[in-house]
Amino acid sequence: MGYLVHDIGHVQLNVTDPEAVVADLTGILGLAVTQRSADEVWLTAGARKVEVVLHRAEANALRLIGFEAPGEAEVAEVAARLAGCGCRLVSERPSLAGVRAGVVFVSPQGHLFEVHTPVPQDIDARRHPSRGMGPKRLDHVNITAPDPGALCDTLERLTGMRLSERMADDSLVWMRGGNRQHHILGLVKGETGLHHYSFEVGDFADYKRLGDLLDRADKQFVWGPGRHRPGDNTYAYFLDASGAMVECSGDMSVIADDAAFTPNVIRKLERPANVRVMNVWGTPAPLEWREHRFPHAPVPQG
């Protein structure tokens, strides 16, 4: 098998105040609530039943990142590879109701991951009425890891995801899945956690609407709008009520021919020489973005 993972599937967060985060994700970002209980809320941007799960908890933290596999055979193959890749099995059942198959595991660097079959969707519900900006879909996640290069190697062997681009010192690494988007996962050097989760925008004018919505909520962009050189995507970042960083991203490049593609290595690592490495338009990343990390919740013990 080649790619065992096609796309990012969903993100699960522990939050102390789900109502406040829901208000940001619906009223500013423009997601829709699809399921709600006293301790759990499901939200989505489009046709999927869920892309973000909020769990009421005593501390704000990343709980789990799910990768979407094409089918049950790919999930089974990931499960078979876990031990050989140094990962610990947590569950052979999917974490989301309605998903046919899934395997939950802990990476060697302490991340709780899941590989699962596609989340159920309603293809006639791609556009939800919303007061928010209204993104198209969850498109990638960036996590923090003590050794991004080593984790990249692990995930390549385990899931078939491939390296698209990296910093020469592996302080930033980008990996793609079967949809060939430049990256569905970014790895940032740091203590195990979450850097940001990202939704695809439909048009650059969406950033104007997003900025105005942030202003009305007495919030602001952390960085952007701009255009990254890795992935060539436009971007803007803000913090939700839990302190998690949310990116809106558009027009990411696609790698059509794996055989002919050579991953780029970024060798300009020092500021100010590397400013345009990260932003084509030249605005340097602020300290708040560079040092951001949303903590990881304690993982289940085996």
Residues 111 and 167 in one domain: no
Is 252 within a domain? Answer: yes
Across the chain, mean pLDDT equals 96
The predicted model gives 233-242 an average pLDDT of 98
Q: Is the pLDDT score of 1 beyond 70?
A: no
Give yes or no: residues 260 and 156 share one domain: yes
In a domain, 122, yes or no: no
Residue 282 lies in a domain: yes
20 located within any domain: yes
Same domain membership, residue 170 and residue 92: no
**Residue at a domain's end among 64, 82, 116:** 116
In a domain, 300, yes or no: no
pLDDT of 52 over the 90 cut: yes
Q: By percentage, how much of the chain surpasses pLDDT 70?
A: 99
285 and 216 together in one domain:
yes
CATH of the domain at 100: 3.10.180.10
Q: 20 and 111 share a domain?
A: yes
**104 and 190: one domain?**
no
Q: Are residues 89 and 154 in the same domain?
A: no
Q: How confident is the model at residue 269 (pLDDT cuts 50, 70, 90)?
A: confident
> Would you say residue 125 lies in a domain?
no
176 and 69 fall within a common domain: no
Task: Among 84, 116, 148, identify where a domain stops.
Answer: 116
Confidence of residue 144 (pLDDT cuts 50, 70, 90): very high
123 located within any domain: no
pLDDT of residue 300: 87
Average pLDDT over residues 174-184: 98
Q: Which domain holds residue 74?
A: 7-116
Tell whether 204 and 272 lie within a shared domain.
yes
Query: Same domain, yes or no, for 143 and 284?
Result: yes
Q: Count up the domains in the chain and report the number.
A: 2
82 & 210 share domain: no
Q: Quick check: 40 and 50 in contact, CB under 8 A?
A: no
Least confident of 57-71, 135-149, 238-252, 271-285: 271-285
In a domain, 1, yes or no: no
Confidence (pLDDT) at 117: 98
Checking if the pLDDT of 251 tops 80, the result is yes
Do 175 and 164 meet the contact criterion of CB atoms below 8 Å apart?
A: yes
Please indicate, yes or no, whether residues 89 and 221 belong to a single structural domain of this protein.
no
pLDDT band, very low/low/confident/very high, at 273 (cuts 50, 70, 90): confident
